[in-house]
Amino acid sequence: MASSETAPLLRDPDLVTPDQDHGAQTHSRRDSPPRGTFARQLSALDGFVLLISIVIGSGVFSSPGPVDANVPSPGAALLVWLLGGILAWTGALTMAELGTAFPGEGGIQPYLSYMYGEVFGYMAAWSWIVATMPATLAILSIVFVESIYSSLGINEPDPPLTHKLLSVLVLVAVSTANSISTKTSTRLGGFFVAVKFLTIALLGVAGLVVVFVWLGSGKSKDLGGGDWKEKNWFGARGTTGAGGGREWGSVGAWESLGFYSTALYGALWAYSGWDKANYVAAELRHPRTQLPLSINTALPTIITCYIAANTVYYLLLPWDTVSSTDAAAVTAISHFIGKVPAYLATALICLVILGSALGNSFVAGRMTVAAANKRWIPSIFATVGQVGTYKISSPSTLTSPNPSSPSTSRSSSSSIVTASPILDNTNTNKDSSPINALLLNTILSTLYILLGNMRILLTLNGLAEYAFFFLTVVGAILLRWRQPGLERPVKPLLIIPLLFAVISGFVVVRGAVFAPVQALVLVAVWGVGVVWFYGRGWVVRGRGRGRGVRG
């Protein structure tokens, strides 16, 4: 019988499923599944709503510019949004397979540890804490500020330092709100979800008005940008602004694939959160049937909303304006109804962005605590209710009162909590916050704001996420070969993970070639992570390849 420490996939094809319940002994797949953190009380409809609330965020309002600037036509941009949705859909189904095969919470880190070894799970956590989540928070803070400036008629492809400093101020405000208490974060999250749906609905109404007014006036009156009815939606054209006046007719096939990869990163940013489908599984009463039903209804709905919203942008704006703005929704509404009425729409969109920032900051703090509990980073980041070593509230822990205790170091498989405040049902002190972890996230995000811009960060974020998503899905495919008898309550057709692996693998490789600076930054981050992991002496040699320290 294997110990509670997981072993790599290629070591023993007959390995039983590791128990993820706080370091308990492993069990046979015939035994009852480990007790999860979340109560199983949700229906398929609840799962649908939760996935919608997790995925739909600020990306649909901010990513259209970066997408349009890297494709030859509006029609091609809409196809990129469709491809991004399909990629998210196939990825969500594959993650659901792993999430139900290995009951419990923890995201992709425990899957990678089980399939490849502990260091891979650690590297995923390290990458999320040092690269993915700080880049995410930086993008959201930048988009918040640029949305306000766009409502005032100011669109800067390269925002000045004053814009960056205001973005840092937004970031600090978000981190401060999450530092008050967990209860404050969750209550604000529910409010922002309602604002999100209202904003998308208003965008749809604006697009319908443009079309119906044009048809009702005998095709003589256009309240939109004009290009939508005069130009070929799939005709190659030169781009402006961030696109640099590129003439697509002269772009070679290989270079064109690079631009499409960059565009796809922008779309994938908007679909970010699809990998949290396994968190939904932890709360469904019957995940075997309800999880695929939730995914197969939520993802098509999200894809439809995104394609519809982007179509509205092309209806409301001149097409060369779309590629030059990082706040497409605000710019479109301002162009459609004028500056003064657009201020209300701007406020709604900014609230949506603020809600996304709040949720991501909430998650970043919890992920950092989980890594510290595993002793992957200094244990001071596992503390709650204190700044540095100064305690400002009553003691509370997310897993164990002592981050350095053996029980704590073995609990990381289930200590990484959900990626949305809506799903926070952990048995923790609701009035405590991981302030030290939030401070670390704020400092790292500030560096990204000051040193980069939204479009650079989108590519960095995409590379960081999809490199590990690719490894996870490839591992899921290998598991079908190595452990065919593993019980899989959710088992999509093999073509689904294969499709994800092929597309995501190409996107990562071509994106890295096309954006070597971001790729080198990411490699440097990973290099530091590897040095940190082995330099701290947390891997005991002789226990078998890929097995980590018990604490």
Q: Cα(245)–Cα(454) distance, rounded to whole angstroms?
A: 20
pLDDT band at 520 (very low <50, low <70, confident <90, very high): very high
- 458 within domain boundaries: yes
Element (H, E) at 70: none
Confidence (pLDDT) at 181: 58
Give the Cβ contact number of residue 234 at 10 Å. 12
Question: What is the per-residue pLDDT across 92-102, written as a single tens digit (0 to 9) for each?
Answer: 988 888 877 87
**Number of domain units in the chain:** 1
Give residue for tokens 């130009």.
Answer: 231
Confidence (pLDDT) at 278: 67
| Mean pLDDT calculated for residue range 498-524 | 89
- 6 within domain boundaries: no
Confidence (pLDDT) at 39: 54
Confidence (pLDDT) at 384: 73
- 22 within domain boundaries: no
Give residue for tokens 């940190």.
Answer: 532
Give the Cβ contact number of residue 551 at 10 Å. 18
Among residues 518, 508, 510, 51, the alpha carbon closest in space to that of 300 is found at 51
Cβ atoms of 303 and 85 within 8 Å: the answer is yes
pLDDT band at 238 (very low <50, low <70, confident <90, very high): low
Higher pLDDT among residues 538 and 324, named by residue: 324
- Identity at 334, one-letter amino acid code: S
Among residues 315, 311, 316, 351, the alpha carbon closest in space to that of 333 is found at 316
Using alpha carbons, list the distances in angstroms from residue 324 to 231, 241, 317, 319: 18, 5, 11, 9
- 133 within domain boundaries: yes
Confidence (pLDDT) at 283: 62
Element (H, E) at 42: none
Confidence (pLDDT) at 299: 92
Residue 442 dihedral angles phi and psi, to the nearest 5°: -65, -45
Give the Cβ contact number of residue 16 at 10 Å. 16
Q: Cα(451)–Cα(445) distance, rounded to whole angstroms?
A: 10
Element (H, E) at 390: strand 390-391
Give residue for tokens 């999860």.
Answer: 36
- Identity at 198, one-letter amino acid code: L
- 459 within domain boundaries: yes
- CA 219-80-346 angle, 5° bins: 65
Confidence (pLDDT) at 306: 93
Q: Cα(286)–Cα(227) distance, rounded to whole angstroms?
A: 49
Q: Measured in whole angstroms, how far is the alpha carbon of residue 273 from the centre of its chain?
A: 4
pLDDT band at 335 (very low <50, low <70, confident <90, very high): confident
| Mean pLDDT calculated for residue range 214-220 | 85
- 543 within domain boundaries: no
Whether 436 has a pLDDT exceeding 60, the answer reads yes
Determine the angle formed by the axes of helices 495-514 and 516-535, rounding to 10 degrees. 110
- Identity at 194, one-letter amino acid code: A
Q: Cα(536)–Cα(485) distance, rounded to whole angstroms?
A: 38
Question: What is the per-residue pLDDT across 190-199, written as a single tens digit (0 to 9) for each?
Answer: 676 677 778 7
Question: What is the per-residue pLDDT across 387-417, written as a single tens digit (0 to 9) for each?
Answer: 777 776 544 444 444 444 433 333 333 333 3
- 20 within domain boundaries: no
Whether 21 has a pLDDT exceeding 50, the answer reads no
pLDDT band at 40 (very low <50, low <70, confident <90, very high): low
Q: Cα(425)–Cα(37) distance, rounded to whole angstroms?
A: 7
Tokens representing 219 are: 């095709």
- 48 within domain boundaries: no
Tokens representing 183 are: 């209860």
Q: Cα(335)–Cα(316) distance, rounded to whole angstroms?
A: 7
Domain extent for 487: 53-391+406-426+447-535
Whether 143 has a pLDDT exceeding 50, the answer reads yes
CATH of the domain at 461: 1.20.1740.10
Residue 427 dihedral angles phi and psi, to the nearest 5°: -85, 70
Q: Measured in whole angstroms, how far is the alpha carbon of residue 391 from the centre of its chain?
A: 32
Give residue for tokens 């006046």.
Answer: 245
Question: What is the per-residue pLDDT across 268-321, written as a single tens digit (0 to 9) for each?
Answer: 888 987 887 666 666 677 777 788 888 889 899 899 999 999 999 999 999 888
Whether 31 has a pLDDT exceeding 80, the answer reads no
Among residues 266, 271, 265, 261, the alpha carbon closest in space to that of 303 is found at 271
Mean of all residue pLDDT scores within the chain? 76
pLDDT band at 421 (very low <50, low <70, confident <90, very high): very low
Whether 83 has a pLDDT exceeding 90, the answer reads yes
Tokens representing 402 are: 């002592």
